[in-house]
């Protein structure tokens, strides 16, 4: 695209939408080198930033919807350009002009009407908890468990919510859920440029939390975690928000979860972008898997700070991606190549994408599990072993009686 002179009106519009970060860019192109999309196709964040600096973004095209906001280029940029802010600002302008992809329109309508992106009725939000004896959160309950929309509704992901509830119960945590009273946290629709919708979802949640006396929130999704610890503070509130990996690590350390070491298995751990790179939670999941459960964590290519995005962030869950361009395919292959028997992670989006890749592209060659599922297995094995030991002891004691 030839640019003769900067278009001031466009520059101002981008700045007003939060994209003023383009000013520092000197067009070195490192962002394109590290961006995972360039392993499966072509995409240029550098070009988007350049367009922004001239005030002439191509808001009608597909490119501005590509970025999954994984944070890799932001982390590596030598000039500290907040690339995600630039890309989200362009999406805000596009969404305001009615150029969101059709799938994002559908999601936005569902969020506005039912408080979730999956088109399910609000009234069914707590159905995952049926039969588990989970109580409704009321004033004075210690912990609110906030499972994420996908863990509340999607059949595979509901297992994350139910497993978490069972673990919390076993550890004796005084917790409850808000069910149909809660909304989507709003993180992903914000990254997709729908700022007003984010504000309304966040406000509604905050109002509900305050009205019910919520102080501590345990979340399953790194996306809920990110927005609640970094962005809900924009509304002048401050909740004690803990990701489940952190909470599991704490419960185990305090002796509230009776896990014993598991038989040695080689596993890979995938750091979700919004847990690891964006928020620095790398050690707690490893403490649970390695130190508490005794699993061997094999090193995949691109791990920890350089973790490879699954493709689900930034609204990626709602975009059509053609076969051969799925980042989750690359990630599953890395786990298989590293010799892992299991690929474990801690994010509903990652589970969904990795599971899909494993079952379709790799014929189910590797099992994908949430960290709670592997902890639950260890708890069952421990409890069963203790039951066996107890019953053996009882028999021995019984047989020695006169
Ligand atoms: S890495 Fe940073 S400075 Fe280099 S082109 Fe990308 S945004 Fe600009
Ligand atoms: S945030 Fe991630 S997906 Fe987006 S441009 Fe940067 S590296 Fe690529």
331 inside domain: yes
317 inside domain: yes
User: pLDDT at position 150, please?
Assistant: 98
Residue 242 to residue 377: CA distance in whole angstroms? 22
Domain boundary (224, 252, 280) is at 252
Residue 70 to residue 194: CA distance in whole angstroms? 18
Which residues are within 8 A (CB) of 10 and not within 5 positions of it... i.e. 6 or more apart?
54, 55, 56, 57
Ligand 2 lined by 83 (C-beta under 6 Å) = yes
Q: Is 176 left (phi over 0), alpha (psi -120 to 50) or beta?
A: beta
Instruction: With cut-offs at 50, 70 and 90, classify the pLDDT of residue 386.
Output: low
Please say whether the beta carbons of 72 and 277 come within 8 A: yes
Domain boundary (219, 252, 285) is at 252
Ligand 2 lined by 49 (C-beta under 6 Å) = no
Centre of ligand 1 to C-alpha 74, Å, is 8
Please say whether the beta carbons of 118 and 189 come within 8 A: no
More confident residue, 286 or 392: 286
Question: Does residue 398 register a pLDDT over 50?
Answer: no
202 inside domain: yes
Helix (H, G, I), strand (E, B) or coil at 28: coil
Tell me how many domains the chain contains.
3
Same domain, residue pair 128 and 248: yes
Same domain, residue pair 40 and 76: yes
Same domain, residue pair 173 and 224: yes
User: pLDDT at position 383, please?
Assistant: 66
Same domain, residue pair 225 and 285: no
Of all residues in the chain, the percent with pLDDT exceeding 90 is: 79
Domain boundary (228, 252, 276) is at 252
Domain range enclosing 195: 120-252
1 inside domain: no
Ligand 1 lined by 46 (C-beta under 6 Å) = yes
**Is this prediction's pTM over 0.75?**
yes
**Mean pLDDT throughout 35-51?**
94
Question: Does residue 67 register a pLDDT over 90?
Answer: yes
Please say whether the beta carbons of 111 and 143 come within 8 A: no
Residue 99 to residue 247: CA distance in whole angstroms? 41
Centre of ligand 1 to C-alpha 31, Å, is 5
Ligand 2 closest atom vs CA 69: 1
Question: Does residue 321 register a pLDDT over 50?
Answer: yes
Same domain, residue pair 227 and 144: yes
Closest to 136 in 3D by CA, of 112, 165, 172, 167: 165
Residue 70 to residue 313: CA distance in whole angstroms? 7
CATH of the domain at 163: 3.40.50.1860
Quote the mean pLDDT of the chain. Answer: 91
């Amino acid at each position: 695209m030839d640019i003769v002179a900067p278009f001031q009106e466009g520059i101002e519009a981008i700045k007003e939408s939060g994209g003023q970060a383009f000013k520092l860019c000197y067009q070195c192109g490192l962002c394109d080198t590290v961006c995972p999309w360039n392993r499966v196709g072509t995409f240029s964040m550098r070009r988007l930033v350049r367009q922004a600096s001239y005030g002439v973004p191509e808001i009608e095209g597909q490119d501005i919807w590509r970025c999954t906001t994984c944070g890799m280029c932001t982390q590596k940029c030598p000039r500290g350009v907040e690339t995600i802010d630039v890309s989200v600002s362009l999406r805000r302008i596009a969404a305001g002009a009615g150029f969101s992809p059709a799938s994002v329109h559908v999601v936005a309508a569902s969020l506005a009407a039912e408080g979730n992106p999956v088109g399910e009725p609000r009234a069914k939000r707590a159905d995952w908890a049926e039969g588990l004896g989970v109580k409704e959160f009321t004033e004075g309950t210690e912990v609110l468990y906030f499972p994420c929309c996908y863990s509340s509704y999607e059949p595979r992901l509901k297992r994350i919510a139910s497993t978490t509830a069972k673990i919390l119960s076993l550890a004796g945590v005084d917790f409850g859920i808000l069910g149909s009273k809660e909304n989507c946290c709003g993180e992903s629709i914000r990254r997709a440029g729908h700022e007003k919708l984010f504000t309304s979802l966040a406000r509604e949640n905050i109002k509900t939390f305050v009205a019910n006396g919520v102080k501590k929130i345990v979340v399953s999704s790194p996306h809920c975690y990110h927005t609640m610890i970094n962005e809900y503070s924009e509304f002048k509130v401050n909740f004690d928000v803990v990701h489940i990996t952190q909470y599991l690590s704490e419960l185990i350390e305090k002796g509230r979860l009776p896990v014993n070491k598991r038989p040695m298995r080689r596993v890979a751990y995938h750091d979700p972008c919004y847990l690891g790179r964006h928020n620095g939670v790398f050690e707690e999941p490893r403490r649970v898997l390695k130190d508490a459960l005794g699993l061997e964590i094999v090193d995949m290519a691109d791990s920890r700070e350089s973790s490879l995005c699954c493709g689900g962030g930034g609204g990626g869950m709602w975009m059509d991606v053609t076969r051969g361009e799925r980042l989750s395919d690359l990630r599953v292959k890395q786990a298989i190549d590293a010799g892992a028997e299991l690929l474990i992670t801690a994010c509903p989006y990652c589970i969904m994408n990795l599971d899909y890749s494993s079952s379709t592209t790799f014929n189910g060659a590797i099992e994908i599990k949430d960290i709670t599922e592997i902890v639950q297995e260890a708890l069952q094995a421990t409890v069963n072993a203790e039951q066996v030991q107890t019953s053996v002891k009882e028999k021995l004691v019984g047989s020695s009686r006169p």
